[in-house]
Amino acid sequence: MSPASAPKPTLITSAGKRRSLDTDERRTRYLWTMAVRVACFIGATVTPMPWNFVLLAAAAVLPTIAVMLANAIDQRRPPEVEAPVPLDRPALPGGEIIDGVVVEEPQ
């Protein structure tokens, strides 16, 4: 079998995240973004005139950003692993085979 056609080894690090872990992370990102939005609304009520418009605009845009972050799934690919290159060294010779039978002693 040539090295090019040899199957690639599997790495434990090439495993992706569990779906439940990915869902939990996306839910957490969504909740943090919505918490910032609520803070923008509260801040808009207590800040002076030019800043409350900025905070209201941020509160209007944040739901779109939150949904985009919540729908962003992990699309990273596992690393490519190259097949090991055979060494140009001779292999160790096989051991000597001795014919015979095994006789068990009575106990």
- Who wins on pLDDT, 12 or 48? 48
pLDDT band at 9 (very low <50, low <70, confident <90, very high): low
Is the pLDDT confidence value at 94 over 80? Answer: no
For range 45-58, the mean pLDDT: 94
Is the pLDDT confidence value at 101 over 90? Answer: no
With CA atoms as reference, report the closest residue to 56 among 70, 38, 74, 68: 38
Is the pLDDT confidence value at 58 over 60? Answer: yes
What residue ranges do the domains of the chain occupy? 30-74
pTM of the model: 0.57
Q: List the helix and strand counts (H, then E) for the chain.
A: 2, 0
